[in-house]
Amino acid sequence: SKRIVIKVGTSTIMYPNGAINLQQMEKLSFVLSDLKNQGKEIILVSSGAIGVGLARMNLTERPVTIPEQQAIASIGQTELMSLYSKFFYNYGHQVGQVLLTKDVTDFPVSRQNTVNTFEQLLLKHVIPIVNENDTVSVEELDHLTRFGDNDTLSAIVLELTDADLLIMLSDIDGFYDKNPMNYTDASRFDTISEINDTILSLAQDSSTKFGTGGMITKLNAAQIVLGAQKQMILANGEDLSILFRILSGEKIGTLFS
């Protein structure tokens, strides 16, 4: 696979104490830059704007009102991109910010404009870094304009860029028959070829403070990916060199294919 979308959750780039994990951000930029050097086309979907914004404003908890959260996301998104821009630059690569709303799936013109932007960025060997546009659409209120989670967003980005593979990095080694954070006897699926009601019933919420969708939104994403005849791999992002191993063909995590 030549064109790859990589999605990282907040837990991959933030410490549990709410501070930015610079080591992980630098490592991510290094690994993706090297994959780029190998000739792969890379698109990064990164969460973390609110987390980084809170850290930047010395806050320990999300503010209560939605406009305040939007402001934090705005501050955090700038800081997040500033960090990525510096790290990627150090490894010889340029990034471009792409902020999306559901418009891209609802309106053909918005969709085409987005496709055009991605194509031009990739043509110029720039690494697009994608997030939801929190200024235009907000959580809870706006189911019409908002994807609501970056798992679903990353599957849409896979479609828009006609990439071959979505690698979703989380704090868990794959998809299990029950939540491994709560059950020690949970066992991991190597491959899933269809998302049916039985599979959906095994997915639970996130058990971490940072996590948003848990396994449910990841299966939603997998459903979109499988519907588009493409592949998704869910793996643990704790050690980011896992990306090298996945792309050299090692069987790691859960493959949705």
Contacting range for ligand ADP; rule: CB under 6 A; set: 104-112, 138-146, 158-166, 170-178: 170-178
- If residue 28 lies in a helix (H) or strand (E), which one and from where to where? helix 22-37
Q: How far apart are CA 166 and CA 214, in angstroms?
A: 17
Taking CB under 6 A as the rule, does residue 26 contact ligand ADP? no
CA–CA separation, 155 and 151 (whole Å):
7
Give yes or no for residue 80 binding ligand ADP (CB under 6 A). no
Q: What is the nearest approach in angstroms of ligand ADP to the Cβ of residue 224?
A: 16
Do the bridges between strand 231-236 and strand 254-256 make them parallel or antiparallel, or are there none, so unpaired? antiparallel
Residue 148, interface with ligand ADP (CB under 6 A)?
no
What does DSSP assign to residue 179?
-
Residue-by-residue DSSP string for 182-240: T-TT--B-SEE----HHHHTT-----SSS-SSHHHHHHHHHHHHHHTT-EEEEEE-SST
Q: What are phi and psi of 3, to 5 degrees?
A: -105, 120
Gap between the Cα atoms of 122 and 119, Å rounded: 5
236 binds ligand ADP (CB under 6 A): no
How many residues bind ligand ADP (CB under 6 A)? The answer is: 24
Q: Answer yes or no whether residue 199 interacts with ligand ADP by CB under 6 A.
A: no
- Could you tell me the end-to-end alpha-carbon distance of the chain, in angstroms, rounded to an integer? 13
CA–CA gap between residue 139 and residue 171 (Å, rounded):
23
- Is residue 203 at the binding interface for ligand ADP, with CB under 6 A as the rule? yes
CB of 17 to ligand ADP, least distance (A): 16
What counts of helices (H) and strands (E) characterise the chain? Answer: 10, 8
Q: Which stretch binds ligand ADP (CB under 6 A): 73-81, 92-100, 112-120, 199-207?
A: 199-207
Residue 202 found at the interface with ligand ADP (CB under 6 A): yes
- Does 171 help bind ligand ADP (rule: CB under 6 A)? yes
CB of 231 to ligand ADP, least distance (A): 19
Q: Which of 117, 145, 208, 236 binds ligand ADP (CB under 6 A)?
A: 208
Interface region with ligand ADP, contact rule CB under 6 A, candidates 76-84, 156-164, 211-219, 244-252: 211-219
For position 176 contacting ligand ADP by CB under 6 A, the verdict is yes
Q: Which residues bind ligand ADP (CB under 6 A)?
A: 9-11, 170-172, 175-176, 178-181, 202-204, 206-208, 210-215
